Amino acid sequence: MTVRVGIVGCLGRMGQALAREVYGAEGCALAGGTEAAGHAGLGRDLGDAAGLGSLGLAVGADAAALFRAADVVLDFTAPAATVAHAEIAGTLGKALIAGTTGLSAEQEARIKAAAGRAAIVRAANFSLGVNVLLAVTERVAAALDPAYDIEIVEMHHRHKVDAPSGTALALGQAAAKGRGVRLAEVAERGRDGVTGARKTGAIGFAALRGGDVAGEHTVMFAADGERVELTHKAGTRQIFARGAVRAALWVAGKPPGLYSMIDVLGL
């Protein structure tokens, strides 16, 4: 079966990477793409925009029409747009791959509600390597006692608007789950000035921004006399697109529900 895949936000850097990955993936076909109303690229050929040559797919602004034409829609846009797209998916019963970060608790709840009527794969990061890192982080945190301080350091390009990254927070959640604690109760998301000694059991975050870094994440377990570091470095957005397409192929035909990349990879 060929899975028809649509892309919302198709003219952005990630949208173009997704288009290239879908175009080259066995078992997939591009169903089209959309951008927000008023975008300068509306009407442009999606293939031309992604460097694939003309495909006869004009970029539109009607997200609902794209969902109707597709089996699965990929969304790496912005929080409000992703929530709106999740609700369209729920209304039409079409699958959605949602990779947007920076969502509020209320927005996450609305996506979860939409997943009662549509299959939605929601992940902070679609890199296959990062999702293996999430699984390993949970296991290491469970194995090492609280004498090992946990620090999560991430770096992204200068244009990223949310911090810590969604992936860093997901790593924090994995570490907290391994330790059997709630991240909200132990997270330290910023230090400045005279902060006092580090709290035992805290999970710290540091966010770096600069250049064109696609994404780097390190989870440190630091104790007296030794330090364990787990690191993932992304050199290109194409790895996220590759994971998103794998998720699209996996979710096609699945019943309604909120899935993760852990489900997709069988971890």
Q: Which of 39, 112, 157, 160 is catalytic?
A: 160
pLDDT at 101 over 90: no
Q: pTM for the complete prediction? A: 0.82
159 belongs to the catalytic site:
no
Determine how many CB atoms are found less than 10 A away from the CB of residue 81: 16
pLDDT band at 61 (very low <50, low <70, confident <90, very high): very high
Please name the fold of domain 128-234. Dihydrodipicolinate Reductase; domain 2 (3.30.360)
156 belongs to the catalytic site:
yes
Sign of the dihedral defined by the CA atoms of residues 241, 243, 246, 251, in that order: negative
Cβ(142)–Cβ(178) under 8 Å?
yes
d(CA 119, CA 32): 20
d(CA 172, CA 168): 6
Tokens of 30: 């591009």
Q: Which of 61, 110, 64 is nearest to 83 (CA)?
A: 110
Strands 149-156 and 72-75, bridge-based pairing: unpaired
Tokens of 197: 């000694």
Cβ neighbours of residue 192 under 8 Å, at least 6 residues apart? none
Q: Which of 85, 156, 217, 232 is catalytic?
A: 156
Q: Give the pLDDT confidence of 164-219 residue by residue, as tens digits.
A: 998 999 999 999 999 999 999 999 998 899 999 999 999 999 999 999 998 999 99
Cβ(152)–Cβ(203) under 8 Å?
yes
Cβ(3)–Cβ(27) under 8 Å?
yes
Q: Give the pLDDT confidence of 28-52 residue by residue, as tens digits.
A: 999 999 999 999 999 999 999 999 9
Q: Between 3.40.50.2020, 3.10.129.10, 3.40.50.720, 3.40.120.10, what CATH number should domain 3-122+237-265 receive?
A: 3.40.50.720
**Beta bridge pairs of residue 221:** 150, 228
Q: What is the pLDDT of residue 267?
A: 80
For the chain, give every domain's residue range. 3-122+237-265, 128-234
Q: Give the pLDDT confidence of 220-265 residue by residue, as tens digits.
A: 999 999 999 999 999 888 999 999 999 999 999 999 999 999 899 9
Cβ(96)–Cβ(72) under 8 Å?
yes
